Amino acid sequence: MSGPEVTLSEEFIAQQRTRLEALRQQLLGGEENTIANQRSDEQEHGDEAEEFEDEAQGMAQDEVNQALHDVNDRRIDDIERALQKIAEGTYGYSDASGDPIPKARLEVAPEAIFTVEEQSKRDAGA
């Protein structure tokens, strides 16, 4: 680990744990609602004649839903990892380098497990 130590109070970490758990539930609940809405639409309109445009719109929506699902999966994984780091006592330090993650970043993204630079590389696929 390089750089200065992270000084996060127990109160801050407890608040972050609460935020992470709420965020995880929100993301998981949102996905359940999407599936439920999709099923409801299928039941409501299942017997109606479908046109080519309807199928194309459905396919486009499926692609959007899959992309959102992928983003949510990754975010849920990061939330789970951040909760694990709280339990281990390593919350606030990067998984990649061990460098401290600034408190301001953790306030904005409590699930942050990398520094901004490392996250940018991860998002770019590097």
User: What average pLDDT does the chain have?
Assistant: 81
Residue 106 has pLDDT above 60, yes or no: yes
Cross-strand pairs, 100: 93
CA dist 91 and 79 (Å) reads 11
| Domains of the chain by residue range | 10-43+53-124
End-to-end CA distance of the chain: 21
Residue pLDDT, tens place only, 70-98? 668 889 999 999 999 999 999 999 999 99
CB 114 within 8 A of CB 96: yes
CATH number of 10-43+53-124: 1.20.120.910
Return the SS3 of 105. Answer: helix
The model scores a pTM over 0.75: no
CB 76 within 8 A of CB 24: yes
Split at pLDDT 50, 70, 90, the class of 48 is low
